[in-house]
Structure 1
């Protein structure tokens, strides 16, 4: 009896000790689709296993809606414990203002630099030699997702490149299907153009425009061909009538649309729907023409908190997000590639394997978000919103407006 009481007392003490160190952390992000929610659940599960509690702060509407809310809270003195941003310059001012926590100690202790698969993404977290965020995945935009059944229904072979996809559009239209599913948000339209620029124009043209800010390259005949392809895409997407990217993905999943140009996060939606890569749908990196991928992704920043307990839990969360097992569980659901190169990906599907092969060959380039300021990106998004919404804007007029934005880019 005495031993039972001693065991009970020890167990009670253990739970009491755990309760002292356990804390709730609010984590804000804009992952609200089915596949994204499933991926977030893996991060939450891993963090909860430490004895702490993930308090989900999802904000619907995508990054363009969520970021201003997140920034306002941080600058207004109501910070969350952790928040999502994309790589690039989105959080730089917050870091420079001393509002973000330095994670260098965690990163050095766990040798992040030795195991990261895309060093440029860890570099994007670094300012003045200090690391301020946790990169959690490698995302790439340059994918064409095709419904195999949609093409079977109209008696056309599943395209192997962009040109074949454009050629198949009239057959899809005749059968009452939308050839190209495209959401109405500005970032989707600009993203589509950037994919066309990389995949049809090639690395040199893309870098001249976005990296070198070469306005003459933006006015060139080579770029004119990209705007012609954008005009084809505009015509193919007419009647799409959806707003969110995952709604457009669902049109492909349900065979109402022939295809969608979207980042690898679309894979998460196919998986939630029970679709099998290579059987139910086809994925073409680089639109099947030029298998180059940008390496961007998501990262989590940790605002400075005046709370020792929560600050300690922030370090635990950063460690959990970068952990190899968490990386596998999260990215298999998210559709992205793990940020670590030392993980077991035997469960990877056909599309993820294609992405890994491209990454291994080094056929990667920096995303436009890493090369232009948020202000320039917003201006370009606005221009493409007008172009895709107004059929009267000619490709030539749109190209000149684009060249002017590049000429005056920060």
Structure 2
């Protein structure tokens, strides 16, 4: 797929202001984008929506998606729906859709030819239930990245690694230099993310898909996964002195050189950009830990609860169209550090790491996100396992693998 720069990319506000809505309305939009890079990105949505004549009412909820989603769901099921709300691609809103609480966007999608422009098609498939489209995918976020502080490795007197093996081997030198080898926050999803990235890098993309998608318990119990759990134990040791909570706090440890690296999604790029750091100069990125370079086609999507208000419903439709417009896709994703879901736009201003992601995507080296493959309840149980594993060194890699096998066997 070839991406082309749209010359109007940075004139989104002016372009969208040409024809305002018939009736302006205020629309509350809930999301969990509160870090520096995330706030800069979501502001692009708000700016475009306000420029159309409507009013964006920001409903940011501090914390991660795990904190925000229950609040969002409670409001929708409790009869106090917002105008639009963020979820991840996949099955997180499945029960709300089945209950008839989410708006059918099929007519808007057909008008905008979303099936033709959204790439890869699995993103829109994850918004589809019984042939109807219920959400707007706004970006492609991949968690398959290792972010490294060039200054930390220079201080430790070792070369910047090119893969996981070299990185792990550098841990003693980093510790001797007073640097934490691996920054990991205490939010539950972060340890699971690290494990999933290790699984994909060490055992391979096929193994990841068979375990999370096909629930292959036999594979989960095998020798290849034993190597993954050994690497997870190694990561646990490397992150032992990482005592921060939020993911962006862990990213800041890498930015400031307190930590040498972080396994985190490409949304970390937004934090590096806000800090004024330059890819390839101040920091290095290794997709797939430098072992298996793949892009996970997860990301963020917006759902629109059913509203009994004609003006707000019209505003919902306008916002859905804006979020997938070429101009807004470029403006938003440049700030977010993610890749656009449209296959007909380019980020010419993309940094080296973003360009790596675009190249991998163009090659078709993609896997689906856990949310697209496994239910939220099953993923929560796996999250709990790895929180316990990373916080309790008495749990061996062998013990954790046995418990993981049981969870996979009973997952849906």
Query: Structure 1 length as normaliser, TM-score?
Result: 0.95
**Cα gap change, 1:18/1:298 in structure 2, threshold over 3 Å: closer, same or farther?**
closer
Q: Secondary structure at the match of 1:117?
A: coil
Counterparts of 2:21 and 2:33, CA distance in 1: 29
Give the Cα separation in 2 of the matches to 1:336 and 1:304. Answer: 29
CA deviation vs aligned residue, 1:226-257 (integer Å, no higher than 9, x gap): 00000000000011100000000000000110
The match for 1:401 is 403
The aligned residue for residue 230 of structure 2 is 228
Q: What are the ranges of 5 or more consecutive residues in structure 1 without an aligned counterpart? A: 1-16
The alpha carbon displacement at 1:20 in A equals 7.3
Please list, as runs of the form range in 1=range in 2, the aligned pairs for 1:3-402 lying within 5 A after superposition. 21-402=23-404
1:361–1:19 Cα change, 3 Å: closer
8 Å Cα contact 2:20-2:52 kept in structure 1: no
**C-alpha displacement of 1:344:** 2.9
Contact 1:293 1:365 in 2 (8 A): yes
Gapped regions of structure 2 (runs ≥ 5): 1-18
Post-superposition Cα deviations, 1:240-296, rounded to whole Å, max 9, x if no partner, equal 100000000000000110000000000000000000001100000000011022110
Q: How many equivalent pairs are there?
A: 394
Q: How many angstroms apart in 2 are the aligned matches of 1:354 and 1:80?
A: 37
Equivalent residue of 1:310, what SS? helix
After superposition, give the CA deviation of every residue in 1:155-195 in whole Å (9 maximum; x if it has no partner): 11000000000000111111111000000011000010000
Secondary structure, aligned partner of 1:21: coil
Paired position in structure 2 for 1:3: none
Residues 1-43 of structure 1 deviation map (CA, whole Å, 9 limit, x = unaligned): xxxxxxxxxxxxxxxx979711110000000000000000001
> Quick check: 1:138–1:295 contact (8 Å CA) kept in 2?
yes
Determine the C-alpha separation between the residues in 1 that align with 2:273 and 2:343.
23
Residues 313-351 of structure 1: CA deviation (Å, up to 9, x unaligned): 000000010010100000010000001011132111100
| SS in structure 1 at match of 2:170 | helix
Question: Per the alignment, in what secondary structure is the counterpart of residue 193 of structure 1?
Answer: helix
* Cα distance in 1 for residues equivalent to 2:245 and 2:120: 32
List structure 1 runs of 4+ shifted beyond 2 angstroms.
Answer: 17-20
Asked which structure has the greater CA Rg, the reply is 1
CA distance in 2 between counterparts of 1:344 and 1:137 reads 13
1:212 deviates by: 1.6
Cα deviations by residue, 1:77-101 (Å, 9 ceiling, x for unpaired)? 0000000000111001111111011
Secondary structure of 2:399 counterpart: helix
